[in-house]
Structure 1
Amino acid sequence: MGNFSELDMYLFGQATHYDIYKKLGAHPQIRRNKKGICFAVYAPHAEKVFVIGEFNEWNETKHEMERLEPEEAGIYELFIPGLGTGSLYKYLIITPDGRKLYKADPYANFAEVRPGTASRITDIEHFKWTDDVWMKKRASHGTMDHQPMSIYEVHPGSWMRHPGEDGDGGFYTYRELAKSLCSYVKKMGYTHIELMGISEYPFDGSWGYQVTGYYAPTSRYGKPEDFAWLVNYFHKNNIGVILDWVPAHFPKDAHGLAEFDGQALYEYADPRMGEHPDWGTKIFNYGNNQVKNFLIGSALMWIEHYHIDGLRVDAVASMLYLDYGKDAGQWIPNKYGENKNLEAIEFFKHINTLITGRNPGTVMIAEESTAWPMVTGPAPEGGLNFSFKWNMGWMHDFLDYMKLDPYFRKNNHNKMTFAMSYNNSEKYILVLSHDEVVHLKCSMINKMPGTGEDKFSNLKVGYAFMMGHPGKKLLFMGQEFAQLHEWSEKTELEWYLLDNPSHKSMQTFVKELLHIYKKYPAMYELDHEWNGFEWINANDADRSIFSFIRKSKDGKNCLLFVCNFTPVARDDYRVGVPVNKSYRLIFHSDDEKFQAEGTKRPLSYKAVKSECDGRDYSISYPLPGYGVAIFRFSY
């Protein structure tokens, strides 16, 4: 029978073979006391399959694979004695009508550096992990609901590059990136990084969202063990690692999954189900158990083999809706005549429950842009069981408001308060992601109204409001120091801007906010619960000022935020407070830390019996234009 047993075939056919990546693909093995490589591939429609590669000079007939019994299982296998790791290879698939297809291994753990498209034999089982402390702590959380999550979204190829080189030689390797990026992230105060474009992909311009290698860290930055080293390094420095993961679609590249064995296999056969007209990509067949197992196995490999702490699932809406991006006649309703993809719904319930159930403390994050109900709700109650959902509604309202001239903000005040009306319906992450700073959308700083320092002041108060608002946080790289140009995957970030005091001040401002976020449980403990947040004044539209409280479980070290979204100073600003106590100023935007001509403020503000904002007690504070003040107090 070989490496792939009858039990393997059964589990694969049920979509429950959770370590399928150890069976399919190319793996070192010993048979009859001989070391070699065992190849196994799923190609049920193929007439014949051959392994071709550097080791046989790409001979198309030398190494024919055996179709295992039962034949309907569609598994081909071949053990080649004496063969070691390192060689490039592909599968030559002969279709029943005589066509020859040269395919990369869908389960390969390593690939040739693009523009090459071959797979590379490797052994990923020998890395020595030393992140036990992190892994035990992660498991002890159970969920991340009450833990801090401030995520730095990073594209590895353009965060930083070696000087003087524009091509591939300029990339940081995984190990170089680990050291430089980890040092920066720790200094800034982020709790997690989220890496784009780690699963192997052929085209740089896709940023990693058109994947051909779901089981392979991209070879652009090094070997699989180098990627494992990166994850291990971050964990030893107490930083979590989240990956973008793309089960929504895949490209039509000839070496990839499209019509893998001569006809639709990984995709739906009917193009009305199996193709995205707008994206020019194929849609996975979520009704095929072997395809579901392919995706589930990929997710489990990243989480369990590479110790990844969570997956941000891209384009969830495109999976849930059969008519997503399609006109009438381009899609097929489900059996109830609706536009819901029932198979994708069940897939999400299965995989999300499985991942977080087997790996406590890990997260599954939905990039879902519609009002689909209960994305983070429990599966038994009809939810999809994601850990968190990107709050795209908040993001759009926030950016719409921030782009406005301050004079017109009073007429759009509700854009900044509306998200709290549905905050408890899901478990949210507030995001300002790469999608908001590409395709002529401008960088964050250039979305802001005004000129010069007004732009920086606007963005600072916006970031402070975001940090105080309930929900975990995500900020794309470069926006923490106000990168001027839109992001491009072709060049590194504009680090030279940090020589400019305004950009350096922005970075310091964000850094201070991130460290406050991590320090005070009030900022994250009760993100998704009604008793974790309270408006002091949500209706001060004429002055465009927002004041609110973030609460901790024990009522200690709660935080009062005041944010002024106009350039008008309020020297006699008074804000209502919940208790008759002293309020300690822990952060203010005109601090000397942030500007050369900063202002020293008293640190303590005693409440007085003076009605304001519907409360008996209040404090007075000189609030500057675009001013932010954060006060600490206890009930």
Structure 2
Amino acid sequence: MSNLKAISGYDRYLFHEGRHFRSYRMLGAQQGERAGVKGVRFAVWAPNAREVMVVGDFNGWSGEDKMRRLKSSGIWELFVPGLEPGALYKYQIVSAAGDVREKADPYAFWAEVRPLSASRVFGLDGYRWGDSQWQGGERLTGGVNKPMAIYEVHLGSWRRKTDGSFYSYRELADELSDYAADMGFTHLELLPVAEHPFDASWGYQATGYYAPTSRYGSPDDFKYFVDRCHQKGLGVILDWVPGHFCKDDHGLRMFDGSPLFESGWPARAENQGWGTLNFDFGKPEVWSFLISNAMYWFDIFHIDGLRVDAVANMIYLDYGRQEGGEWLPNEHGGRENLDAIAFLKKLNEAVHYYYPRALVIAEESTAWPLVSRPVYLGGLGFDYKWNMGWMNDTLRYVSLDPIHRQWEHRLLTFSLLYAFSENFLLPLSHDEVVHGKKSLLDKMPGDYWQKFANLRAFFGYFMAHPGKKLLFMGGEFGQFSEWYEGRGLDWLLLEYELHSKLHGFTRELVRFYRDDSCLWENDDNWRGFEWIDCHDSRQSVISFLRRADNDEHTVVVTNFTPVVRHGYRIGVPEAGSYREVLNSDRAEFGGSGVTNDELRAEPQAWHSQPFSVVLTVPPLATVYIKREAMREE
């Protein structure tokens, strides 16, 4: 057990400067020994408090254990001997005005199961990891020249037990990791696991930033989950919410009787659209709290990446706000949140300094430039940016009746005007299958068969378009109802033929994507993409090439109408025999079975290519074609 030294002046200095990136080792409930006595050192930042006490089940929740304020600091400290892991505690804080409130520890590593809200003492370093191979370099890094197919999951509703209760982290560790690995996904992305009081917030309104939610088990159970994923070859990305927090009384709001983590200006603090409070990025201690939290998930839980939620809300002071008093401009009169921008840059610099292979992904929905470019080049420093424009355009397009798609062809082609301005990730996320938006399958027009055909065609196009991939759970087998966090997915649908065949198609598609370097090796530049024909709006057919570094190419053709296109000629770059390598209309996938045998390239120039092939394009389908010699090589 470690020796609990006094909190040093240098630690306090770094914390108050916003540069203590391991402040979770200083604050919170730290187990160890002091003068040979085992116990717990409690430490909390509460600069405007008149008095702070530790209350818990070990002292009858009385205020007898008073903390002392460290010199020239807003940090309070107390060593309590004899405490064991699992002990419950809170901080009882007397404000400058004399008000008394009980608060959960902002740095608590574990919490009670909601609706209870006390913090729990927990030791961080007792788990024995088994992912040395993964950490040693065998993992998929998710770099721009690597495949990345992410399966987005809400742990509480991927599956539920027959009595409606949750699967635990350890149960999910086996079932979910086996399933995702079998499907061919490279990463799991988890909706936020930080402790949160309200199930329907999905974790996006947190109270315990350092506590994996106790709904599914202990912090060590969550470590086991990540460990098991790594052993199955899956990276783990966490959704992370550094922009705002919920207002529950036991959380961060008015923590020491004053607006501490939030701004003192209501126009800056209040997030009326979400009913939350924005972090005040003008306070260096908030930087230490949040950047340390990012490091904590990498250090302690071996995660592989963070998806940063609602970046637009952070970088724009007027995001979701009306003119006339709802927001305050910056010191230059602009709407940019200069403090938040500086914070994001420092966050990404720090994470990538300590974890060069880490992924930090921005959910950013505006035209802010250079989101995924390094800080030293003037960017925000993220590795990837969600391509919300592509998502909105294509989902709008595929929701149209095919007879109307010819008039909206630009929705398919516009994304290539900016496809390489950022390192993009294409998201088909949870946000697109809730609140009346319908499930992916139910968005598709037409009769029962056409809905499935549309979705398979769309998935084929999605996997071939430049950018990394993300698919929310349930989409892979055609969940018909919208996602609802209060129940598990409708796995019984796999007993029905078209759902089962769609599931098989998704598995083969994801695996093909991983195996075909043409689809990901040049995701960030024009070398990897070339239009064959982007102009056939009348027939709603698009065709393009994806290229690997060695000039191997994959031809992609998608027909977004239910009409078979016979004798359809497309240009190809080389002579030789071409063959279908994937066709979403194959009968085994639930299609009509319109396929092509060997295709011989003719020396007839077409579509600005020196050769061409003539094929039959199946209805509502995507076809991948490769030159036979390439396949043999």
The answer on whether the counterparts of 2:312 and 2:366 sit within 8 Å (CA) in structure 1 is yes
Match of residue 561, structure 1, among 556, 565, 582: 556
Match of residue 18, structure 2, among 15, 20, 29: 15
Match of residue 217, structure 1, among 196, 212, 219: 212
Structure 2: tracts of 5 or more residues without a match = none
Residue type of the alignment partner of 2:483: W
Task: Give the fraction of aligned pairs with identical amino acids, expressed as a percent.
Answer: 46
Match of residue 263, structure 1, among 258, 261, 265: 258
Name the SS for the 1:615 alignment partner: coil
Tell me if 1:200 matches 2:198. no
The answer on whether the counterparts of 2:139 and 2:233 sit within 8 Å (CA) in structure 1 is no
Show the counterpart of 1:594.
589
Name the SS for the 2:521 alignment partner: coil
1:577 Cα shift? 0.4
Alpha-carbon distance in structure 2 between the residues aligned to 1:35 and 1:584: 70
Alignment of 1:372-521 (within 5 A): 372-521=368-517
Alpha-carbon distance in structure 1 between the residues aligned to 2:179 and 2:352: 29
Show the counterpart of 1:609.
603
Alpha-carbon distance in structure 2 between the residues aligned to 1:494 and 1:171: 15
Residue type of the alignment partner of 1:573: Y
Alpha-carbon distance in structure 2 between the residues aligned to 1:8 and 1:424: 42
1:33 Cα shift? 0.8
Residue type of the alignment partner of 1:585: E
The answer on whether the counterparts of 1:40 and 1:76 sit within 8 Å (CA) in structure 2 is yes
Alpha-carbon distance in structure 2 between the residues aligned to 1:356 and 1:510: 33
Tell me if 1:34 matches 2:28. no
Query: How many residue pairs were aligned?
Result: 625
Name the SS for the 2:49 alignment partner: coil
1:620 Cα shift? 1.5
Name the SS for the 1:608 alignment partner: coil
1:144 Cα shift? 1.3
Tell me if 1:158 matches 2:161. no
The answer on whether the counterparts of 1:139 and 1:360 sit within 8 Å (CA) in structure 2 is no
Show the counterpart of 2:27.
24
Show the counterpart of 2:285.
290
Inter-CA distance 614–433: structure 2 relative to 1 (3 Å threshold)? same
Give a deviation string over 1:541-560, Cα, whole Å, max 9, x none. 0111111111101113x211
The answer on whether the counterparts of 1:417 and 1:538 sit within 8 Å (CA) in structure 2 is yes
Inter-CA distance 232–598: structure 2 relative to 1 (3 Å threshold)? same
1:596 Cα shift? 8.1
Alpha-carbon distance in structure 2 between the residues aligned to 1:39 and 1:2: 12
Q: Normalising by the residue count of structure 2, what TM-score does the alignment of the two structures yield?
A: 0.97
Alpha-carbon distance in structure 2 between the residues aligned to 1:404 and 1:139: 40
1:58 Cα shift? 0.7
Inter-CA distance 480–139: structure 2 relative to 1 (3 Å threshold)? closer
1:597 Cα shift? 6.7
Alpha-carbon distance in structure 2 between the residues aligned to 1:627 and 1:45: 64
1:271 Cα shift? 0.5
Tell me if 1:65 matches 2:59. no
Give a deviation string over 1:480-508, Cα, whole Å, max 9, x none. 11101000000000000011111111111
Match of residue 302, structure 2, among 297, 303, 307: 307
Tell me if 1:538 matches 2:534. yes
Alpha-carbon distance in structure 2 between the residues aligned to 1:311 and 1:229: 19
Alpha-carbon distance in structure 2 between the residues aligned to 1:338 and 1:450: 48
Alpha-carbon distance in structure 2 between the residues aligned to 1:417 and 1:194: 28
1:140 Cα shift? 9.0
Residue type of the alignment partner of 2:67: M
Residue type of the alignment partner of 1:452: Y
Residue type of the alignment partner of 1:153: E
1:600 Cα shift? 6.2
Show the counterpart of 2:48.
45
Alpha-carbon distance in structure 1 between the residues aligned to 2:6 and 2:521: 48
Show the counterpart of 2:89.
89
The answer on whether the counterparts of 1:85 and 1:122 sit within 8 Å (CA) in structure 2 is yes
Show the counterpart of 1:323.
318
Name the SS for the 2:626 alignment partner: strand
Residue type of the alignment partner of 2:70: L
1:390 Cα shift? 0.4
Give a deviation string over 1:571-608, Cα, whole Å, max 9, x none. 21221101112223211123242138746642x32211
Alpha-carbon distance in structure 2 between the residues aligned to 1:46 and 1:125: 32
Match of residue 5, structure 1, among 5, 8, 17: 8
Residue type of the alignment partner of 2:190: L
Q: Normalising by the residue count of structure 1, what TM-score does the alignment of the two structures yield?
A: 0.96
Alpha-carbon distance in structure 2 between the residues aligned to 1:596 and 1:457: 7
Stretch deviating more after TM superposition (378-387 or 262-271): 378-387
Ranges of 4+ aligned residues in structure 1 off by more than 6 Å: none
Alpha-carbon distance in structure 2 between the residues aligned to 1:538 and 1:560: 13
Alignment RMSD (CA, Å)? 1.4
Show the counterpart of 1:191.
186
Match of residue 336, structure 1, among 321, 332, 337: 332
Residue type of the alignment partner of 1:615: Q
Alpha-carbon distance in structure 1 between the residues aligned to 2:250 and 2:267: 23
Alpha-carbon distance in structure 2 between the residues aligned to 1:390 and 1:452: 31
Inter-CA distance 517–426: structure 2 relative to 1 (3 Å threshold)? same
Stretch deviating more after TM superposition (437-446 or 580-589): 580-589
Name the SS for the 2:588 alignment partner: coil
Name the SS for the 1:47 alignment partner: strand
Alpha-carbon distance in structure 2 between the residues aligned to 1:285 and 1:354: 19
Residue type of the alignment partner of 1:625: P
Stretch deviating more after TM superposition (23-32 or 105-114): 23-32
